[in-house]
Amino acid sequence: MRAANVARLALLALSSCAALWLVAAPAAASSTITIINLDGAGVGLNDPTPVAPVGGNPGITLGAQRFNAMQFAADTWGVLLNSVVPIRVGSSFAPLFCNASFATLGQAGPNSVHRDFVGAPFASTWYAAALANARAGGDLNPGVDDIGAQFNSTFGTTCPFPGTFYYGFDASPPGGALDFVSIVLHEIGHGLGFLTFVDLASGAKLAGFDDIFMRSLENHSTTKLYPVMTNAERITASIDTGDLHWVGALVVGASGSLSGGVGASGHVQMYAPNPQEPGSSVSHYDTAVSPDELMEPFHTGPNHHVTLTLDLLRDIGWTASAVATTTPTPTVPPIPTDTPTPTITPTPGGDHFTCYKAGATSGSVKFPGIQNPPGVVLLDQFGGATVQVKKPKFLCAPTDKNNENPGAELHPEHLEGYAIKNSVKPIFPTNIQVIDQFNPTGLRVDAKKQSHLLVPTVKNLSGTPPTPVAFAIDHFECYKVGVTSGTPKFVPRLALPIEDQFGVMTVDVKKPTFLCNPVDKNGEDPTAPAHPNHLMCYQVRQVDLVKFAKKVGVFVNNQFGPEQLDVKKPSELCVPALKNL
């Protein structure tokens, strides 16, 4: 594993701005992101100036309100991203550039970057510290804050730029005030990995290696991606206004919500002004993007809407546990001392999936399978095996169950299930405790035999979709299961409404069928066997009068290559789960 230090990126204010967007507030965190107070006594986050509570922020000193607003933004990111490693954001106020027409509001970035660590999705590729830790499952740089952030202490005081910071949580600043939570959300976004480490002036890669962000940057004029460009070509791309694009699959898949700054292919424009603007060029969405996005280089008004930013973070390798929705005002924690945050107990996270029986479309190019030998090597919490991979049998679509996660049906990452065969007949665990929404106190099951491999997949109804640089969800190895003898049986759930990209239906949830473990396939993710989130799959039966209509010729693409499938009927509902042997 290698590490390096990197620079900060800034959020700027211009002499005009417009207010827009909705509030996304934190619920129960799937990662712990903690603001670390680096300011001295009496200044910045410790400023004792008395103030009245505002916009849901209960602080009664200026320093406390600043800290509360920052932690609110950190918690907003924390509920959306998965990491078993606490993320520390070293934060302070300091005099940053400011004049009557232009001000630097904040600046932030990762304190270190890492490559070739255990669990890295791509070799010889730099990752921001927080993302690297999340992928590795451990702290790669102990004792060092993962993100460094500074905010302008002169804004609203000695800075001649008109305005002040608004520290409320409700995204409703009065006239002349700028929403501080939006600014912190933006800066933490950079610290989480929304930036490239390419030197802007020279076009050179950091120490000669790719970074994960640059892998999805394209100069649309030449169709070249950043990694294969020369230094001179990267400089040219950085000033090719309108033609520097993000081509990651998740952002492209969500780009239909945009009315500007998006190409016919769904590629989203990145900021490429001519001449270059250090601290802004390349590592932001373009100002042409409409509606305005959180990660544009200039503050455009209150914006707690992180959806397209979250899609980009997922494109570079973050796993997400939720989507941004409006939730009740959170409890504000006390200001912490500069000490490590304890690891939280994990809870089931990730999407639900409706799995449909599927098979290759007649006349299409069929998946040839992978014979054994050489086979595919799988390693999960039950052990290792080399298996034959046979024909596809399921296509699983992300699902909003019972209206608990509206928008889940629009998530682009699916799972394709391939039958697997092991020439050896191993003995699998019994009396496994599985905890999920249907069984909060646990259901006991016996694993009987290996059934299929779930592979992260993208789908499209009209043509072959491109695969992302890195999928955010795991591979899963699924085992046929039955309820352990002598333990309580599963209680069926009747008339459950579900929605996915194929439509809306009502199903009865009948019985448990498969337990799916996160799996390391061919050594691609050695940390996968330790990932806590599993899938528990239950047989379902549609109870609507109008039944699901077979979908013919659905285009899918994944590591095994593109193909077309006929999607026949709903078979299982797979629910996020935890297990205990």
Check: pTM over 0.75? Answer yes or no: no
**Does residue 536 carry a pLDDT above 90?**
yes
Looking only at the bridges linking them, the beta strands covering 147-152 and 217-219 are unpaired
Same-domain pairing of 107 and 35 = yes
In this structure, the answer to whether residues 308 and 362 fall within a common structural domain is no
Residues 526 and 451 in one domain: yes
Place of tokens 């599985």: 434
Last residue of a domain, one of 315, 342, 362: 315
Average pLDDT score over residue span 373-385: 91
- In this structure, is residue 398 part of a structural domain? yes
Give the per-residue pLDDT at 330.
Answer: 35
In a domain, 275, yes or no: no
- Cis amide prior to 291 (ω within 30 degrees): yes
> Could you tell me the sign of the dihedral formed by the alpha carbons of 448, 451, 456, 462, in that order?
negative
Is residue 5 predicted with pLDDT exceeding 80?
no
Rounded CA separation 566/555 (Å): 9
Q: What is the pLDDT of residue 322?
A: 55
List the structure tokens of 433. Answer: 């405790």
Q: How is residue 247 written in tokens?
A: 């081509």
Whole-angstrom distance, CA of residue 34 vs CA of residue 86: 8
**Model confidence over 437-456: pLDDT tens digits?**
888 878 999 999 999 999 99
Average pLDDT over residues 127-136: 96
Strand order in the sheet with 125-128: 2-4, 113-115, 125-128, 210-211
Single residue among 287, 315, 343 that ends a domain in this structure: 315
Q: Is residue 95 part of a domain?
A: yes
Residues 308 and 383 placed together within one structural domain of the fold: no
- Residues 43 and 133 reside in one and the same domain: yes
Question: Which of 399, 319, 388 is CA-nearest to residue 572?
Answer: 399
pLDDT-derived band of residue 13, with 50, 70 and 90 as boundaries? low
Q: What is the pLDDT of residue 442?
A: 86
Alpha-helical segments (H) within 204-323: 231-238, 249-254, 307-315
**SS3 for 2?**
strand
Total domains in the fold of the chain: 2
Which pLDDT does position 74 carry in this prediction?
Answer: 96
Place of tokens 């304190």: 111
Residue ranges making up the domain that contains 166: 2-202+299-315
Instruction: Compute the average pLDDT of residues 549-570.
Output: 96
Tens of pLDDT, residues 137-174: 999 998 889 999 999 999 999 999 999 999 999 999 99
- How far is C-alpha 381 from the geometric centre of its chain's CA atoms? 24
User: What's the average model confidence in pLDDT over 199-209?
Assistant: 91
Side-chain-side CA neighbours of residue 219 (13 Å): 18
Q: How far from the centroid of its chain's Cα atoms is residue 154's Cα?
A: 34
CA 450/CA 456 separation, integer angstroms: 18
Q: Are residues 10 and 70 in the same domain?
A: yes
Instruction: Indicate if the pLDDT at residue 350 is higher than 90.
Output: no
Residue 15 in domain: yes
Most confident stretch, 126-135, 347-356, 380-389: 126-135
b/e string for 260-274 if b means 16 or more Cβ within 10 A? Answer: ebbbeebbbbbbbbe
Q: Could you give the C-alpha distances from 202 to 86, 195, 198, 276, 481, in angstroms and in order?
A: 35, 16, 8, 11, 57
Question: Could you tell me if 408 and 303 lie in one domain?
Answer: no
The DSSP bridge partners found for residue 2 are 115
- The stretch 75-80 carries a mean pLDDT of 95
Q: Is the pLDDT of residue 334 over 60?
A: no
With respect to residue 374, please indicate whether it lies within any of the assigned structural domains: yes
Widest Cα–Cα separation across the chain: 76
Placement of tokens 């905890």 in the chain: 435
Q: Write down the pLDDT at residue 437.
A: 86
**Pair (89, 164) in one structural domain:** yes
- Whether pLDDT at 84 is above 90: yes
Q: How many CA atoms lie within 13 A of 106 on its CB side?
A: 27
Tell me if 274 is assigned to some domain: no
Pairing of strands 210-211, 125-128: parallel
**For residue 292, pLDDT beyond 70:** yes
Residue 232 lies in a domain: no
Q: Does residue 311 sit in the same domain as residue 426?
A: no
**530 touches 343 (CB < 8 A):** no
Per the domain annotation, does 342 fall within a domain?
no
| 34 shares its domain with 115 | yes
Residue 348 — pLDDT band, cuts 50, 70, 90? low
pLDDT of residue 439: 87
pLDDT band at residue 339 using 50, 70 and 90 as cut-offs: very low
pLDDT in the model for residue 63: 97
Q: How far apart are the C-alpha atoms of 194 and 258, rounded to whole Å?
A: 19
343 pLDDT above the threshold of 90: no
For residues 517 and 373, state if they share a domain.
yes
* 77 and 152 share one domain: yes
> HSE-up of 369 (CA within 13 Å, CB side)?
15
Domain boundary residue, one of 260, 287, 315: 315
The mean pLDDT value for 85-103 works out to 91
Residue 358 CB contacts under 8 Å (≥ 6 apart), including other chains: 392, 393, 394, 395, 416, 417, 554, 565, 566, 567, 568
Amino acid 279: pLDDT: 86
What tens digit of pLDDT does each residue of 226-240 get?
Answer: 999 999 999 999 999
What contacts 425, CB < 8 A, 6 or more positions away? none
